[in-house]
Every structure is written in structure tokens, then in C-alpha cells.
Amino acid sequence: ETHYHKLSTEINLLISGKMKIQNKILTSGDIFIIHPYEVADPVFLEDCQVICVKTPSSPDDKYVLE
């Protein structure tokens, strides 16, 4: 889903697969960071595994855009 966070910064590691986010193509081993109020618009081009660390961790800090 296209979304953003008001509080959290997301630090992401693409473990496997291929995806597009922020108009960039990423492959296994790439790291990408999403800052507060930056819209995340992921498109998964293959099956992907992503490790995501949110700091601060706030389960209710996700705002989906339609």
C-alpha cells in the first residue's frame, strides 16, 4: 500500500527479490530509508523479502493513501 508515517523512520533491507520504490529499482542487498512524511509507494516486481526497522516503533503510525 502507498503510505507514510508521521513519527517513524523506516530503515529497510531488501533480502531477496526485485522492487521499485521512489522511482528506483532495487534488488537483493539494497537498503532504502523512508523518512517521516515521505510517501512510500512500493511496487513489487518479484516476490520479495524485506527486513524493516521502524524507529521509533509505533504500531499506529501508518497512514494509507488511496
Do the Cβ atoms of 3 and 60 come closer than 8 Å?
Answer: no
Which pTM value belongs to this model? 0.87
By mean pLDDT, which of 23-27, 30-34, 47-51, 56-60 is the weakest? 56-60
What's phi and psi for 5, nearest 5 deg? Answer: -125, 145
Secondary structure (H, E, C), 30-50:
CEEEECCCCCECCEECCCCEE
The whole-angstrom separation of Cα 37 and Cα 17 is 26
Above 90 in pLDDT, residue 66? no
pLDDT in tens, 38-55: 999 999 999 999 999 999
